[in-house]
Structure 1
Amino acid sequence: MLFSTEEYSARLAGVRSRMADQGLAALLVSDPANIYYLTGYNAWSFYTPQLVFVPADGPMILFARAMDADGAFRTSWLPRESIIGYPEQYVHRPHVHPFDWVSFALRERHLIAPAAKGCVGLEMDSHFFSPKAYRSLVNAIPEWTMVDSFELVNWVRSIKSPAEVQLMRSAAQVCLSAMRTAVESIEIGVRQCDAAAQISRAQISGTAGIGGDYPAIVPLLPTGDEADTPHLTWNQERFQKDQAVVIELAGAHHRYHSPLARTLVLGKAPERLVRLSDAVADGLNAVLAEVRPGVPVRELARTWNWTLATHGLEKPSRIGYSIGIGYPPDWGERTISLRSEDESVLAENMTFHVIGGMWMDNYGYELSEAIRVTATGVETFTSFPRELIQKGG
């Protein structure tokens, strides 16, 4: 097992404590990151329906496609009797759903009535929980009162154990290798797709001592005029002289992610980009200086907004989010957002991707750090120079 039996027990206890607080008699977990957190199961099987049944008391049960059940046994700490495969004829059929079969399997095991004594939580905002899955459960188990669990497991995940922190440090070493590869690969005349291929190779190869994992998000490379918007990938065009390239990527190790963003110019940076980079650096440094346990998240946003305002700028979007385990399509935990409306308070061993991203008209700049809240301040997971990179100018 990747983690100790004691750690897995503590995770389940944390989930059940929160279930009790929310009045849940059972919880159905469908987010692959949450399934991995609770059971250790790790495979590319989340494109078909799967879930973990978590009762208020008693063993968890993992339901997956029959051909994936052995994979679940290979990677999960659960005993074989707690891993149940549903038949192949339920996969991608128009008039039946795997949760029809799962619901009957729960009924056969006399698990419906105990869960009917309270509400049953569903991960209503999970990327892999479809309307058809919901309809299947509602129709098959009318005894249950099903409610949104409001990212229950995700919130338990927000404070990392020492073992998880170490995995994120390892992921950061992979991230550093990938970012160095990105800077080396991006050259005038090189196709964007070829640079992306080199970055992906570095992400998966990792370092001599730390193997890489596939990241939840592919390398993002908004280039030239397109750098005025985030989340663009690459194309077959060649990099040109004086183009700016925003590089956002992550290192992943055992599904734990450490992201990083930097901006590179192939030539001499225009003055407007230099000014923007100075403003973003001031803002990010001011935010990191505020990080410590007990600080409300909104104070970080206030510090960012105030610093940016001194440069005559503003940023309407959030400046970061909680990170840890990640599966496609996202490495964020979908809980804490670093913005003025968030009521969360920082605690030791929370981990975040803090993003100074500014997208202007026909140009943009991004600078980010993956961080941990320490007992007295902040740990940045990577040590890549925090500056605008000018290459060949």
Structure 2
Amino acid sequence: FMQHENIIGYADDYVQNPEKHPMDFLSRIFKEKTWPQKTIGVEKDNYYFSAACLESLQKNLPQANFVDSTGLVNWQRTVKSPQELNYMRKAARIVEKMHARILEVMEPGMRKNDLVAEIYHSAISGVTGTSGEQGFGGDYPAIVPMTPTGADASAPHLTWDDQPIPDNSGTFFEISGCYRHYHCPLSRTVYLGKPPQKYFDVENAVLEGIEAGLEAAKPGNLAEDIEAAWRKTIAKYGYEKESRCGYAIGLSYPPDWGERTVSFRKGDKTVLEPNMTFHFMPALWFDDWGLETTESIVITGNGAETLANVPRKLFVKP
């Protein structure tokens, strides 16, 4: 943990003040520590480091050499420690509970926002302890539950509304358990009523593609090998997915639970190593519907281990 003497606060009038910027204060600290001529790494492509941040530093530290260090820390996070994996396994137990709650309470006519309230309750209340095992609560995930129904499921990353869930409709749930800000995303699709045959046809291709991808997820293979195995498998059934089918996960804050490093896509030559963790995300979206079945995985010495234990199938509630 950071030593107490290295924790430096700044005055409240730096907060949301157009006349002052917190980086002005940081520049003063650099000068006090005789660092004004150092080489300073800045993340030019970062959610929280703005153009105004860089302008302030450049104005106040004109002799410094600024270099782009985007992703430097993120790449150090790709291989997880045993403690980090322990946190992610706890997040996996939470997401298992979240999906179980969806199947328990979801029904036609239920307002989507009420269902999402149930999802959030499961996520934050966490897992109750059992004999010999202590329970634990959940943190807020870096992304809200994504829950599109029917034609809305033709696109990822859509959230909820306050409308009743219709009968004879499919909904995919892309959600994540979160423990101490470590994530375990997992997607499943639920159909209320009798699904059209196309759902089962796509499910068959997706499940076979997932198995092929997991088989390729071994130390020494490349990130693109997983995508290639997935793509070749679904091509046998006449399907194509041009976007990536996975990405690195772990410690994250809003607005994204991805680590913004490794991707399962053609051209990513990252060598897979034990204790790397990924969201294997081989979903398929069509013109007026979609199906998501995904897994969070950890690379082990023997291959891929799925972190969560939720049946890998299309769930049907007649």
Q: Distance in 1 between matches of 2:105 and 2:272?
A: 37
For residue 88 of structure 1, what is the aligned residue in structure 2? Answer: 12
Q: Distance in 2 between matches of 1:222 and 1:284?
A: 22
- Superposed CA RMSD in Å reads 0.9
Q: Distance in 2 between matches of 1:200 and 1:361?
A: 29
For residue 309 of structure 1, what is the aligned residue in structure 2? Answer: 235
For residue 83 of structure 2, what is the aligned residue in structure 1? Answer: 163
Q: Distance in 2 between matches of 1:372 and 1:80?
A: 34
Q: How many residues of Structure 1 are paired with residues of Structure 2 in the alignment?
A: 312
Q: Which amino acid aligns with 1:303?
A: A
For residue 152 of structure 1, what is the aligned residue in structure 2? Answer: 72
1:329 shift after superposition: 0.6
Kindly report which structure 2 residues correspond to 1:217-296, keeping only aligned pairs within 5 A, or say none.
217-296=143-222
1:109 shift after superposition: 2.2
Q: Distance in 1 between matches of 2:102 and 2:185?
A: 14
Q: Which amino acid aligns with 1:225?
A: A
Kindly report which structure 2 residues correspond to 1:354-365, keeping only aligned pairs within 5 A, or say none.
354-365=280-291
Q: Distance in 2 between matches of 1:268 and 1:315?
A: 26
Q: Distance in 2 between matches of 1:376 and 1:126?
A: 35
Q: Which amino acid aligns with 1:195?
A: L
Q: Distance in 1 between matches of 2:115 and 2:7?
A: 42
SS at 1:85 equivalent: coil
4+ residue runs over 2 A deviation? 77-80
Instruction: Provide, for residues 137-173 of structure 1, a one-character-per-residue CA deviation record: whole Å limited to 9, x for no partner.
Output: 1111111111211301100000001111111111100
> Structure 2: 5+ residue runs without aligned partners?
129-134
Kindly indicate whether the alpha-carbon contact (under 8 Å) linking 1:257 and 1:324 is maintained by their aligned counterparts in 2: yes
Q: Which amino acid aligns with 1:370?
A: S
Kindly indicate whether the alpha-carbon contact (under 8 Å) linking 1:175 and 1:249 is maintained by their aligned counterparts in 2: yes
1:102 shift after superposition: 1.1
Kindly report which structure 2 residues correspond to 1:36-115, keeping only aligned pairs within 5 A, or say none.
77-113=1-37, 115=38
Q: Which amino acid aligns with 2:153?
A: A
1:78 shift after superposition: 2.2
Q: Distance in 1 between matches of 2:41 and 2:29?
A: 18
| Structure number with higher relative contact order (C-alpha < 8 Å, ≥ 6 residues apart) | 2
1:374 shift after superposition: 0.2
For residue 343 of structure 1, what is the aligned residue in structure 2? Answer: 269
For residue 391 of structure 1, what is the aligned residue in structure 2? Answer: 317
1:201 shift after superposition: 0.7
1:112 shift after superposition: 2.1
Q: Distance in 2 between matches of 1:278 and 1:161?
A: 35
1:216 aligns with 2:142: yes
1:174 aligns with 2:129: no
Q: Which amino acid aligns with 1:162?
A: P
1:273 shift after superposition: 1.5
Instruction: Provide, for residues 278-322 of structure 1, a one-character-per-residue CA deviation record: whole Å limited to 9, x for no partner.
Output: 111111111001111000111111111100110101001000000
Q: Which amino acid aligns with 1:299?
A: D
Question: TM-score, normalised on structure 1?
Answer: 0.78
Q: Which amino acid aligns with 2:305?
A: E
Kindly indicate whether the alpha-carbon contact (under 8 Å) linking 1:174 and 1:210 is maintained by their aligned counterparts in 2: no
Kindly indicate whether the alpha-carbon contact (under 8 Å) linking 2:46 and 2:70 is maintained by their aligned counterparts in 1: no
1:332 shift after superposition: 0.5
For residue 371 of structure 1, what is the aligned residue in structure 2? Answer: 297
Q: Distance in 1 between matches of 2:231 and 2:3?
A: 51
